[in-house]
Amino acid sequence: METLFSISIALAAGLLMSRVSKPLGLPSVTAYLVAGILVGPYCLGRIGINGLGFISAENVKEFELICDVALGFIAFAIGNEFRLSQLKKVGGAATFIGIWQAVIATALVDITLVALHFVLGDRLPISMAITLGAIAAATAPAATLMVVRQYKAKGKLTDLLLPIVAIDDAVGLIIFSVSFGIAKALEKGEFSLTAIIVEPVLEIVCSLLLGLAMGLLFSLCERFFSSNSKRLSLSITFVFLTVALSMVEFDIGGIHIGFSALLVCMMLGTVFCNVCDFSAEIMDKTDKWTVPLFALFFVLSGAELELNVFSNIAIVGIGVAYIVSRSLGKYLGAYAGAKLMKCDEKTTRYLGITLLPQAGVALGMSVTVMELGEVGSVIRNIVLFSVLIYEIFGPVLTKIALTKAGNIVPKPKEKDRKNRTAPAKIS
């Protein structure tokens, strides 16, 4: 009962906040995140009534399964952007820019924080600097996808953006694994070539192979059903199943094998869209089914944000340096990459702004760095601080950039619509 109360209150808060944000021109993502903060442990949860909001961080974690499933559907939807017809147009540019901007962001954060190390000393060790640099590469696909969907963004920038966001996760995973391996060597004297190179490469390869197998099986099974409702049910079943399989981990000969749920589900969507001839219709129906799921996901994400990070001045200071250098790195990397790939002027100018949101992948990395002990704890708090800022302002900036690029066409005001439809007076 308490679980259902919490879910219903979370959804109601998200919907009410979206109505408040609409006249302000804010994206629904931002509204849901703010709603999550309001029903989270630092606001409504302080009353201490279980079911009336979320009373603690542990209470929010109880709904982690919902977030895992939502991320699976988000990745599945992004896979739709990898249709061969579309990749022939933007595939090369998306791959190059995706790699380039991630590397530039990491390099700029590394340079900034290493320079700060010589000012702050042990409060910002080298291991922390290079780990934060690696985390900087990650971009949040969820917020970007939601803004694109809400405003029905279409155009050259949007066509390039979603593949880049997907590629970004694979690149970020490799950069993080290498940098984190070096950080562990600096902190604990443990250096493992297997953990730095072999395991991250295997994770990406295994994730893509699992997604390929599930995508082919999914496409085959869909052909046994002619009813759209049953095809939709099968789609949901396969995303659930794929998310579950991507959680499996095992060891072979001392090598740890794991999967990235985002990459597996993205590959599932990619294969399905390119193999199944009626995939567009099924994808459209799936998108509509997932609307409340995504709303709940973002409300939960808002409830999970740690507001107490503002109480530590050192964390805020390093966090500000991280946010500024990462934002600059993302923008300059995307700008330079788009220039080199000879993209149009508006795409070149505004692409980097759309790559600023950061959440799920970065938070997952921040959990891994807890292995570094006290240094890992500080890194996690800095990431929590940056995610709080990026998730609130990132969707707004993404909307502005897509509008400036002409990919979002502002709707005429209600008054203007009435004036245009009203019959002309005869004098």
Residue 374 CB contacts under 8 Å (≥ 6 apart), including other chains: none
Measure CA 362 to chain center. Answer: 9
- 3-state DSSP assignment of residue 53: strand
Measure CA 328 to chain center. Answer: 19
> Which residue, chain included where needed, has tokens 């597996």?
264
Paired residues of 250 in beta bridges: 257
Residue 161 CB contacts under 8 Å (≥ 6 apart), including other chains: 144, 148, 351, 354, 355
Distance of alpha carbon 226 from alpha carbon 253, whole angstroms:
46
* pLDDT number for residue 339: 92
**pTM of the full structure:** 0.74
> Which residue, chain included where needed, has tokens 């950080």?
183
Contact of 39 with 45, CB cutoff 8 Å: yes
CA distances, 325 to each of 112, 195, 320, 396 (Å)? 7, 28, 8, 19
- One-letter amino acid of 223: R
Contact of 268 with 97, CB cutoff 8 Å: no
* pLDDT number for residue 145: 78
* pLDDT number for residue 195: 66
* pLDDT number for residue 240: 94
- 3-state DSSP assignment of residue 312: coil
What phi and psi values does residue 263 have, to the nearest 5 degrees? -70, -40
Q: Which residues of the chain have pLDDT under 70?
A: 81, 86, 90, 188-193, 195-196, 309, 360, 364, 367, 411-427
Contact of 6 with 53, CB cutoff 8 Å: yes
Contact of 311 with 120, CB cutoff 8 Å: no
Question: Closest Cα to residue 355, out of 382, 340, 334, 325?
Answer: 334
